[in-house]
Amino acid sequence: MSERKVALVTGAASGIGQAVAVAYAQAGVAVVGGTFKGDPHDPDRTGALAAQAGGICVMQELDVADTESVERFAQLAIDRFGRIDHVVANAGILRASPLVDMTDEQWRQMLEVDLTGVMRTFRAAARRMRQGGGMVAISSIAGGVYGWEEHAHYAAAKAGVPGLCRSIAVELAGRGIRCNAIIPGLIETPQSLDAVNSLGPVGLAAAARMIPLGRVGTPDDVARLVLFLAGEDAAYITGQSVVVDGGLTVR
């Protein structure tokens, strides 16, 4: 069994997941990162950045909509390192669709990835974790405190995440495993830079003027909170949802 701690990070080839994987590598935590087939980003990039940071990130193909794939992903951490200490359910999709045009399939796919995918990730990890550890899921202000037209399916999926985390927190507390949700506002990543399904570069620049701290968030802004909530500094925090949005939702 590895002396160092081990983190599972889904959606680690880009954006927030990549920043989390590199931050863990910097902190001396070994990472098993998930990369989705068909993702345009080079998964080797995350591994290379982790190595530059003096750590290790093993990338594995992962589809959080597929139970077997998620079980294989969690098992790789056991086979490679013998343990799982931190779990970051970050993978997600964002699609825009007016309610009147939304198909059942669009709704189902969104819930499969953005909500059920979180459950599958935590379930597979919980089956293999021993005493102690931290789980963190990435929700969104769209699921908690902010209405967003043409994103009802995304909002519904993301709204489920804090509830899932609260119940898991209570259920796994006896094993010393904590579970919290993060509610990011606008973070500059491939997802938010997509001008079709999200704000795009122009929309993000305009939104920055509405944000009290005067800028859109970076993946590192979220990664720092992930490492705090999953780690020992948050030993007495569980079942909570923490907003990281530069003050957007309190203005």
Q: Which residues bind ligand NAD (CB under 6 A)?
A: 10-11, 13-17, 34, 36, 39, 62-65, 90-94, 113, 138, 140, 184, 186-187, 189-192
Tell me how far, at minimum, the Cβ of 218 lies from ligand NAD, in Å.
Answer: 10
Q: What are phi and psi of 217, to 5 degrees?
A: -75, 160
Tell me how far, at minimum, the Cβ of 175 lies from ligand NAD, in Å.
Answer: 25
Nearer to ligand NAD, 19 or 84 (CB): 19
Nearer to ligand NAD, 39 or 220 (CB): 39
Tell me how far, at minimum, the Cβ of 177 lies from ligand NAD, in Å.
Answer: 21
Angle 117-244-191 (CA atoms, 0-180°, nearest 5)? 50
Nearer to ligand NAD, 29 or 187 (CB): 187
Q: Of 108, 118, 130, 125, which is closest to residue 164 (Cα–Cα)?
A: 118
Tell me how far, at minimum, the Cβ of 89 lies from ligand NAD, in Å.
Answer: 8
Whether 24 sits among the annotated catalytic residues: the reply is no
Nearer to ligand NAD, 213 or 235 (CB): 213
| Residues with catalytic function | 154
